[in-house]
Amino acid sequence: MINRPIALLLMSALPLAACSVGPDYRPKAAAELGVPDRYSVPNPAAGAREDLGRWWDRFDDPLLTRYVEQGRTANLDVALATTRLRQARESLVQSRAQLLPQLSGSAGYSRNLTIAGQNFNVGGQNDNFSAGADASYQVDLFGGIRRGVQASQADLEATGYSLANVLISVQAEIARNYVLARLAQLQLANARASLAIQDDNLEIAGFRVQAGLVSSLDAEQARASRAQTAATIPTIEASYNGFVSRLGVLLGQAPGALKAEMEAVKPIPKGPESVATGIPAETLRQRPDVRAAERGLAAATARIGVAQAQLYPALSIGGSLSSGGGVLQNVFDAISGRLFAGLTQVIFDGGRLRSQVRANEAAAEGAFVTYRQTILTSLEDVENAIVSLDAAKQRARQFAIALEAANNSALLARLQYRSGLTDFTTLNTTEAQLLSARNGLAQAQADQSTALIQLYLALGGGWDATSIPELGNDNG
């Protein structure tokens, strides 16, 4: 039976255990955070936000799709973020365990021998068996433990969003390196095509020099142009190797694992012309880094209550049972027990506990600043990606015109040089313009694709709550 004083103590503790010191966290509305109603840059596709869960499918490149899907499970950065999520999950389990009593049991056995006489004869022996149990419970009078659970829950959710952020970043990096590898292939093809033409020009110039129609200056100019073009090829090959090697590492493989598969030349993947971005508030709800920062603020706010609870009295309740006997069957015939309660209060600690409260308040203010900064950076990412995509499309249109004109000029100059109607300098200039226009158009097409990838990333595409186990029931 619980004695009367302890029963009264428990009854008085019950209403206190329902209170929690410290501020209650309240999510802030978009207007309170200074989020604008619309983006500040022109966006023809502004409207209802699209479902960007599988944006890579819109590039209509099966190999790209396979690489992105493979990276979702094989990438080592994703695997590392997953282990952090598991750690956060176990931290929550440990925090919740503090709300429950701690129980422990014990058992023992001993034998006492009586030794007598000069021959050390055993005069008698006595067997003793014992068993016991202990229980202790820290009453959460002022909600410090509950605030700790809230902080651990918010940490778990923040870690889940951080995993989602790593996931979408890896997906975008895979797609970007794939596009750049295809760009390098196209640049190599352009350089080799130009080199073949310059070989032909060098041969023609040599014939004309031998025939006495022109000076050796034409041949030397042709040789110099060919060498300059040939010199660009190793640089492009090195860039291509770097992109393909990076793809292999992003997929959790050796750098050279994808070289054979990527060797077949394919065009630069092209996605849709535009993306419906919606309004900024929708983007912030989809961006996992923003949601991770918001959960970090919630955790920091809860820890203020954890620190404040240390300023108040702490009540602990415990009890124990013990029994023993000389025969194992009789161990539980006589059981004794005790029940106790203790109340502790820090009287003087040199201001340590109050300093911890102030430190946690400062940490919460810092978490809010981080939250605001993440929001502003997210809006900046979206607007920069929108402008970059539009600029790349305009450049691609102009380079397409330049390529058509440069191709016509090169054809005419080549015919005229063979007929002796123009000099080699004119031919050399038109050939250089043609190569520049080809590479310019290829670069603009790649820039359009990479800007589109960056826009998908800035909008938080490539994940949903169900893809992260701890966020499957999230309603934030």
Domain limits, the chain: 23-99+142-311+351-471
Q: How far is CA 402 from the centre of its chain?
A: 41
pLDDT digits (tens, 9 = 90+) for 267-285: 999 999 888 888 888 888 8
Q: What is the pLDDT of residue 124?
A: 60
CATH superfamily for 23-99+142-311+351-471 is Outer membrane efflux proteins (OEP) (1.20.1600.10)
User: Residue 435: which residues within 8 A CB-CB, separation 6 or more?
Assistant: 190, 191, 194, 229
Position 467 scores a pLDDT of 74
Q: How sure is the predictor about 115, in pLDDT bands with cuts at 50, 70 and 90?
A: low
pLDDT of res. 474: 45
User: pLDDT band at residue 118, thresholds of 50, 70 and 90?
Assistant: low
Mean pLDDT of 433-446: 94
Could you count the other beta carbons within 10 Å of the beta carbon of residue 156?
Answer: 23
Q: b/e per residue, 223-245, with b = 16+ CB within 10 A?
A: bebbeebeebeeebeebbeebbb
Q: What is the pLDDT of residue 244?
A: 97
Residue 388, classed as helix, strand or coil, is helix
* DSSP codes, 236-287: HHHHHHHHHHHHHHHTTS-TTTTHHHH-S--PPP---S------HHHHHHH-
Pairwise pLDDT comparison (218 vs 268), residue with the higher score: 268
Across residues 320-327, what is the average pLDDT? 72
Q: So what's the pLDDT on residue 38? A: 87
Task: Average the pLDDT over each of 41-50, 88-97, 129-138 and give the range with the smallest value.
Answer: 41-50
pLDDT level of residue 26 (50, 70, 90 thresholds): very high
Q: What are phi and psi of 34, to 5 degrees?
A: 75, 25
pTM of this prediction exceeds 0.85:
yes
Give the pLDDT confidence of 30-68 residue by residue, as tens digits: 888 888 888 888 876 666 778 888 999 999 999 999 999
- Looking up tokens 């200056």 gives 217
- C-alpha angle with apex 413: 411 to 416, nearest 5 degrees? 110
Question: 462 or 132: which carries more pLDDT confidence?
Answer: 462
Read off the pLDDT of residues 177-208 as tens digits, 9 standing for 90 and up. 999 999 999 999 999 999 998 888 888 888 87
